[in-house]
Chains A and B, each alone.
Chain A
Amino acid sequence: MSKAFLIANKEFMVALRTVAIYFIFAIFLGVVGVIFSSTLFKVGRADLRSLFSVMHLIFLFYIPALTMGTLAREKSSGTFEVLSVSPIRLSSVVWGKFLASWALVFIAMALTLFYLVILVIFGRGIDFGAIACGYLGLLLIGGVYTSVGIFASSIQSNQVLAFVLGLGICALMYIVQFMIPIIPPQFLRIFQFISIDYHYQNFQKGVVDSRDLIYLLSLMTGFNILSELKLKSQNLMSER
């Protein structure tokens, strides 16, 4: 596992050294800011609900873009071959990449705390518990999307295709919520279970339910295991 942290550390440092990541942060913050200010000043509501839902929507694009290169680039450029001469396991590679990308998601979310500060200054009667839960839930959802993105990256050697695939899977989990009103009631439970938003509702209300935690954490682990298996099936370092 310590090797996973080594890989994560390197990936994270390299990512922070690219200019692109700051552009992404800036755009993210900008879009979130526009939505935030419109709810705060026009509607006059002192909460971060709309902010959370828009962040969730942005994550659908932002995270696959962040993760598309993780494994795809290693495979297409051939650096995977050098990596394979090191005594590391494939799981360390996958988890290392996952942790690094997730940390970037974390940073992006931490930047939005700036808006929370504005809220504290101008707002009254703020439910800090609900906001903290909202952040926690969104962070976990970010983790799920990160592992999905890495899984897509493990399937495709082409970064653009990896992005499209990652976006596709994430979007599928996202849009299930809109199908809930129109499906027959006997399937309701299944669709609710699949819908990532359904699980997020509780967090937004300020409730941390262990079922939701387990759901999100097992999705993360599951997709990471799938990535590892995918790499194994491609015969890359398959004995490890």
Chain B
Amino acid sequence: MIEVKNLSRKFGELVAVNDISFKIGSGQIVGFLGPNAAGKTTTLRMLIGYLQPTSGEILINGKSIFTHPLESIRQIGYLPESNALYDEMSVYDYLRYMGSLRGLDQAQFETRLDFVIDKCGLKDVISQIIGTLSKGYRQRTGLTQAILHDPPILILDEPTNGLDPNQIFDIRELIFELGSEKTVLISSHIMQEIQAVSDRIMIINRGSIIIDEDKELLVTQLNNRKQLVLELEAGKLALEELIAQIPELEIHRNEQIGEELFLELSAPADIDLKRLVGEHARKHKWLVLSMFIRRHSLEEVFYNLTRNLQKEAPEDSEAGEIEPEETSNEVVEA
């Protein structure tokens, strides 16, 4: 169990992490999401005791990591963002070394090793020198190192960094499997990844946690408004008639390009917008070329949230640079 109370970290003038608090119970997979330079890695580094916080408290299984550093670090497996490895060692030697630093004797190590290299798919490269490994195998070696001593808490900083889609899928499966009995904290700036594996989502931006919510709950909240996208040809739109019928209706786009008209409307989820607009179309003899409901993806929300916050406070923009991910809109019905 991880408990964080009023944690802050400053780098000179820059506030990297600003007074965050959260609690993660066991058996939970928590996605730690944020744009680059939001404070994710800083937070995780503080959790493992690598970086000293400016203020605040961190408890691992109820014990402060500052008063019980060695005891609490035994509970944690960590994959750093940089995934730094000793390039001149072989995979086996590296894992043996890491195992012995964590107090595994030869017998314990051998049993664990069989299990973890099988799980992480390292069998083929076990005697290879780390410096000669591909990025994917390096990442897996890092992950193996993190789970080697079977820690109850796993902290993974961008674990699928640099992997191909198949490997990403494998790693996600593994995280999912581990998550059933362990506390897992995964950071990423990639939304789909977090959406795919985690039960709970924390979004951090500019050093503060702006969302900390159950994933399912978050997804439902996001979809409380439906958005209808239309492409049509019509003599008369008569939208005011539609607004009279649905007072909550919002028009996001109303644009004529050549002969065709593009409309984007939204209304609360409980209103059957499709049917109402359809009936309206029949009445006014629209020629509907396409019509579908666009559902909000988490990614879009993440993008909007982090970007809007940045617009509000543009004076120190170096703190949170956004890499806009392409917003993929799920087409639900056509």
Chain A residues engaging chain B, CB cutoff 8 angstroms = 3, 6-7, 10, 13-14, 17-18, 77-89, 235-240
Give A17 to B51 CA distance when docked, in angstroms. Answer: 32
Interface residue B82 (Cβ < 8 Å from any Cβ of A): yes
Residue contact B101 to A3, C-beta cutoff 8 Å: yes
How many interface residues does chain B have, given as a range? 20 to 34
Give A7 to B86 CA distance when docked, in angstroms. Answer: 13
Task: Pull 19 A–B residue pairs with CB atoms less than 8 Å apart, ordered by A.
Answer: A6-B100, A7-B101, A10-B97, A14-B89, A77-B82, A78-B82, A78-B84, A79-B86, A81-B84, A82-B85, A82-B142, A85-B48, A85-B78, A86-B98, A88-B70, A89-B70, A237-B49, A237-B69, A239-B65
Mark out the residues of chain B between 45 and 91 whose CB falls within 8 Å of any chain A CB in the assembled complex: 45, 48-52, 65-66, 69-71, 73-74, 76-78, 80, 82-86, 88-89
A240 to chain B: which residues have CB within 8 Å? 49, 69-70
A236 to chain B: which residues have CB within 8 Å? 50-51
Residue contact B102 to A87, C-beta cutoff 8 Å: yes
Chain B residues engaging chain A, CB cutoff 8 angstroms = 45, 48-52, 65-66, 69-71, 73-74, 76-78, 80, 82-86, 88-89, 93, 97-98, 100-103, 142, 145-146
Interface centre among A13, A238, A239 (most CB of B within 10 A): A239
Q: A6-B101, A81-B50 are in contact. Are A87 and B70 (CB under 8 A)?
A: yes
Give A80 to B78 CA distance when docked, in angstroms. Answer: 12
A83 to chain B: which residues have CB within 8 Å? 101
CB distance from A93 to the nearest CB of B (A): 10
CB distance from A90 to the nearest CB of B (A): 10
Residue contact A238 to B48, C-beta cutoff 8 Å: no
A235 to chain B: which residues have CB within 8 Å? 51-52
**Can you list the 8 inter-chain pairs with the closest CB atoms, starting with the nearest?**
A78-B84, A78-B82, A86-B101, A85-B78, A235-B52, A87-B70, A84-B50, A79-B84
Residue contact A84 to B48, C-beta cutoff 8 Å: yes
